[in-house]
Amino acid sequence: MIARLEGCSDRDQAAPLVGSNLAIRRSQLPPVPPASFYWVDLVGLKVETTDRRPLGTVQRLLETGANDVLVVGEREQHLIPFVMGQYVISVDLDGGRIVVDWDPEF
């Protein structure tokens, strides 16, 4: 994420802030394009397979470099690559669920 802070016009002025936590209001976030999501919107959604078998809820997401990964479930966790169309079939924010093409035994 890139941010421009008031009072910091170059890298040297921003250097002391490296590692700091920043907070913004939700209303300050730009709208996301279709089929894109903010991670915070996915946490807590129920996840089920294409044949409606529940896998649990999204606990968090991991950034791996190759693709983001959904961490689903509490006791038994599933690590599901967030790849739309291949593993993630649909995301219904209003309905609170994600449908995945994933083997529950994996």
| Position 37 in a domain | yes
Please report whether residue 6 resides in a domain: no
* Number of domains, the chain: 1
Contacts of 66 (CB under 8 A, 6+ apart): 81
CATH code of residue 94:
2.30.30.240
The answer to whether the beta carbons of residues 104 and 55 sit under 8 Å apart is yes
Average of per-residue pLDDT across 38-60: 97
- Residue for token pair 């606990």: 59
Banded pLDDT at 65 (limits 50, 70, 90): confident
Task: Report pLDDT for 23.
Answer: 87
Which of 16-20, 82-86, 99-103 is the least confident region? 16-20
- Its pTM stands at 0.80
- Separation CA 23–CA 28 (nearest Å): 10
Q: Choose among 43, 44, 42, 1: nearest CA to 24.
A: 1
pLDDT at 1: 59
Query: Is there a domain that residue 106 lies in?
Result: no
**Which range of residues forms the domain containing residue 62?**
33-100
Question: Is residue 83, in this structure, part of any structural domain at all?
Answer: yes
